């Protein structure tokens, strides 16, 4: 069977039933609902995964909480040493994991490798961070007083992750949270449970028999059952949730009721602007990668292309030619540029999306068909000529559909870019310094990421990653994203012998 050797590297036999629950350093006999996971390239069953029952979830959450009570006391650089070893383990298993991602998720191998490289990169970053969890000393208005700001571990981090980055995005959380002194309770997407099981095996290899044993717990299961239980669980003070904007609404509602905190990484609806003065040779490959890469299933995929009117016909023609050369097929074949979508449902969403786009007046200029290819979930990448007032342009369709919209000026491009509810990533192509700087100024793009002469996809680990508006406002990976995984404490220290009150208040007793 295709993929048998890849699964065997993680001890999984094709079609077998495996446990998706682990805590305390080992996999447990799980008693929850069984998830079937499929190879999107062929539609064949890869394995069955038994998820967490209510009781399994309870045990896993308690174990993660117990592990936290120990882990928080370890010095941060000691915690960093475990993250260094974790990064080494991912380095050693990079190719095995990349192939498993290609097999179960359908992204092409080079992107699977890139995904594991991202895990390695965040581990490297987090190791350094473990010696830099800085607070501040603030001058006090009171004599013989000092005010400090310190950062302390939060507790158990609940990770709810999406199918499209089954390792890298949860990986940002693992690495940073661990150096911050948190432990992890992970509910992965039910569409990619095998990748999470493989990662959990690696966690055990690195941590078992050490003081880090049990810092990782895994609870596979449906969002509305296991996920919702986690959202309602007071033992989990912080949730990192990656998924659609609908998920964000649920997380916010549940955490609002119990005072939980969240780091939200939700849907995007990313635009690239190409102005008439742009280097079109630079813009073209960036737009094609942004819209076709990962079969349009990145949160940062380019969904809207805003072309300055005078260059629109020329640029669309070049785009059509480039699209025609994209090799669609087996993601494990190194020549393939676009693999399948994740599921039959995703193909149906693509087809329904295009039907609705046409109903609203959009004109298909490339692609548009689902492809019969050996039982897999393949589609052609599509380009549609749309207008800014079509309501569907404001929606994220998680498939390779690119709206081309003409604009008359930079100002109009900014207005159209900002007119959607999401605010993740954006890019402009221009050789005009003033226009470029306007794009990234306060009156420019309102997205969490705004690029110049670079597309919407493919962020580096050093910058804070995340978006505004319905994208959730969360930040992960670099910069000071670590602060999201810790609690801030302000300390007033009186080293004198008088009880002095702030703001000059007198209260003599
Ligand atoms: P999804 O929202 O369907 O599922 C994401 C996760 O949420 C899954 O683990 C799912 O089981 C869980 N979930 C669903 N309902 C839940 C509930 N009621 N309670 C708790 N958990 C629940 O998303 P998906 O299809 O897996 O991924 C695609 C989406 O994720 C897109 O919208 C994409 O833009 C977004 N995404 C965003 C980022 C980012 O960084 N902003 C990164 C990757 C993906």
Say if residue 373's pLDDT is above 90. no
pLDDT of amino acid 490:
98
Report the nearest atom of ligand 1 relative to the CA of 227.
20
Q: Domain ranges in the chain? A: 4-266+472-489, 270-465
Report the nearest atom of ligand 1 relative to the CA of 396.
32
Report the nearest atom of ligand 1 relative to the CA of 398.
31
Residue nearest to atom 20 of ligand 1 (CA): 227
pLDDT of amino acid 432:
98
Report the nearest atom of ligand 1 relative to the CA of 301.
34
Say if residue 426's pLDDT is above 90. yes
CA of 15 to the centre of ligand 1 (A): 26
pLDDT of amino acid 414:
98
Per the structure block, which two tokens stand in for 207?
Answer: 């941590």
Per the structure block, which two tokens stand in for 25?
Answer: 């350093």
Q: What is the pLDDT of residues 10-33, one digit of tens each?
A: 999 999 999 999 999 999 999 999
Residue nearest to atom 30 of ligand 1 (CA): 243
Q: CA dist 56 to 34, 35, 51, 66, 437, Å?
A: 13, 16, 9, 15, 53
Say if residue 119's pLDDT is above 90. yes
Residue nearest to atom 13 of ligand 1 (CA): 223
Say if residue 372's pLDDT is above 90. no
CA of 300 to the centre of ligand 1 (A): 14
Say if residue 301's pLDDT is above 90. yes
Residue nearest to atom 11 of ligand 1 (CA): 223
CA of 265 to the centre of ligand 1 (A): 9
Query: How confident is residue 1, by pLDDT bands cut at 50, 70 and 90?
Result: confident
Mean pLDDT of the chain: 97
The values of phi and psi at residue 262, to 5°, are -140, 155
CA of 497 to the centre of ligand 1 (A): 55
Ligand 1 pocket, mutate which of 111, 169, 244 (most atoms under 8 A from CB): 244
Report the chain's terminal Cα–Cα distance, integer Å. Answer: 83
Say if residue 180's pLDDT is above 90. yes
Query: How confident is residue 509, by pLDDT bands cut at 50, 70 and 90?
Result: confident
The average pLDDT across 428-437 equals: 98
- The count of other CB atoms within 10 Å of the CB of residue 132 is 12
Report the nearest atom of ligand 1 relative to the CA of 342.
25
The average pLDDT across 205-210 equals: 97
How far is 274 from 463, CA to CA, in rounded Å?
24
Per the structure block, which two tokens stand in for 248?
Answer: 């964000």
Pocket residues for ligand 1 (CB within 6 Å)? 160-165, 169, 187, 189-190, 223-224, 227-228, 231, 242-244, 247, 250, 265-268, 299, 396, 398, 424, 467, 471
CA of 494 to the centre of ligand 1 (A): 48
CA of 195 to the centre of ligand 1 (A): 16
Residue nearest to atom 43 of ligand 1 (CA): 299
Q: What is the pLDDT of residues 253-263, one digit of tens each?
A: 999 999 999 99
Q: What is the pLDDT of residues 236-252, one digit of tens each?
A: 999 999 999 999 999 99
In 172-260 the beta strands, taken as DSSP E runs, fall at 183-187, 216-219, 238-242
Residue nearest to atom 1 of ligand 1 (CA): 243
Report the nearest atom of ligand 1 relative to the CA of 265.
41
CA of 159 to the centre of ligand 1 (A): 11
CA of 256 to the centre of ligand 1 (A): 19
- The count of other CB atoms within 10 Å of the CB of residue 179 is 31
Q: What is the pLDDT of residues 137-161, one digit of tens each?
A: 999 999 999 999 999 999 999 999 9
Say if residue 207's pLDDT is above 90. yes
CATH architecture of the domain 270-465 equals: 3-Layer(aba) Sandwich (3.40)
Residue nearest to atom 23 of ligand 1 (CA): 243
DSSP string, 446-464: -SSEEEESS-SS---TTSE
Report the nearest atom of ligand 1 relative to the CA of 230.
20
Q: What is the CATH number of domain 4-266+472-489?
A: 3.40.605.10
CB-neighbour burial class of residue 504 (10 A; exposed 0-12, middle 13-18, buried 19+): exposed
Catalytic positions, written as ranges: 265, 299
Ligand 1 pocket, mutate which of 33, 111, 162, 229 (most atoms under 8 A from CB): 162
Cβ contacts of 499 within 8 Å, gap of 6 or more: none
pLDDT of amino acid 235:
98
Residue nearest to atom 18 of ligand 1 (CA): 224
How far is 504 from 231, CA to CA, in rounded Å?
44
Q: Burial code of 79-97, b = ≥16 C-beta within 10 A, e = fewer?
A: bbbbbbbbbebbeebbebb
Ligand 1 pocket, mutate which of 224, 247, 302, 346 (most atoms under 8 A from CB): 247
| CB distance 263 to 239 below 8 Å | yes
pLDDT of amino acid 209:
97
CA of 244 to the centre of ligand 1 (A): 5
């Amino acid at each position: 069977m295709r993929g048998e050797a890849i699964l065997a590297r993680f001890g999984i036999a094709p079609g077998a039933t495996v446990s998706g629950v682990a805590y305390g350093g080992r996999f447990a006999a799980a008693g929850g609902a069984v998830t079937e996971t499929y190879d999107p390239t062929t539609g064949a069953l890869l394995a069955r995964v038994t998820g967490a029952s209510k009781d399994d979830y309870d045990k896993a959450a308690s174990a993660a909480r117990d592990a936290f009570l120990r882990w928080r006391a370890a010095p941060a650089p000691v915690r960093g040493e475990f993250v260094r070893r974790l990064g080494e383990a991912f380095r050693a298993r990079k190719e095995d994991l990349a192939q498993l991602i290609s097999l179960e998720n359908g992204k092409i191998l080079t992107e699977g490798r890139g995904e594991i490289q991202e895990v390695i990169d965040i581990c490297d970053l987090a190791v350094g961070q473990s010696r830099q969890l800085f607070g501040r000393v603030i001058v006090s208005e009171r004599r013989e007083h000092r005010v400090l700001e310190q950062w302390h571990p939060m507790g158990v981090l609940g990770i709810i992750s999406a199918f499209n980055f089954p390792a890298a995005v949860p990986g940002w959380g693992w690495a940073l949270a661990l150096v911050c002194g948190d432990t992890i309770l992970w509910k992965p997407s039910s569409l990619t449970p095998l990748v999470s099981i493989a990662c959990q095996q690696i966690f055990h290899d690195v941590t078992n028999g050490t003081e880090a044993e049990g810092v990782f717990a895994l609870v596979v299961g449906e969002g509305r059952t296991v996920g919702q239980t986690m959202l309602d669980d007071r033992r989990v003070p912080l949730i990192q949730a990656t998924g659609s904007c609908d998920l964000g609404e649920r997380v916010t509602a549940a955490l609002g009721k119990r005072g939980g905190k969240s780091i939200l990484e939700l849907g995007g609806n990313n635009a690239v602007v190409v102005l008439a003065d742009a280097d079109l040779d630079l813009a073209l490959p960036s737009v094609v990668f942004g819209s076709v890469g990962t079969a349009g299933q990145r949160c940062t995929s380019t969904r809207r292309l805003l072309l300055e009117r005078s260059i629109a016909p020329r640029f669309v023609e070049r785009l059509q030619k480039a699209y025609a050369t994209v090799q669609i097929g087996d993601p494990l074949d190194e020549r393939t540029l676009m693999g399948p979508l994740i599921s039959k449902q995703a193909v149906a969403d693509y087809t329904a999306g295009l039907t609705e786009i046409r109903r609203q007046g959009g004109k298909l200029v490339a692609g548009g068909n689902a492809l019969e290819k050996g039982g897999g979930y393949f589609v052609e990448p599509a380009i549609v000529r749309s207008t800014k007032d079509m309501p569907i342009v404001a929606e994220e369709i998680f498939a390779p559909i690119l709206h081309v919209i003409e604009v008359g000026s930079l100002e109009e491009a900014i207005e159209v870019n900002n007119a959607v509810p999401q605010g993740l990533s954006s890019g402009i192509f221009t050789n005009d310094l003033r226009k470029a700087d306007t794009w990234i100024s306060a009156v420019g793009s309102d997205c969490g990421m705004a690029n110049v002469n670079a597309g919407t996809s493919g962020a580096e680990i050093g910058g804070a990653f995340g978006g505004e508006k319905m994208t959730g406002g969360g930040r992960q990976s670099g910069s000071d994203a670590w602060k999201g995984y810790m609690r801030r404490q302000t300390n007033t220290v009186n080293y004198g012998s008088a009880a002095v009150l702030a703001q000059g208040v007198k209260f003599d007793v």
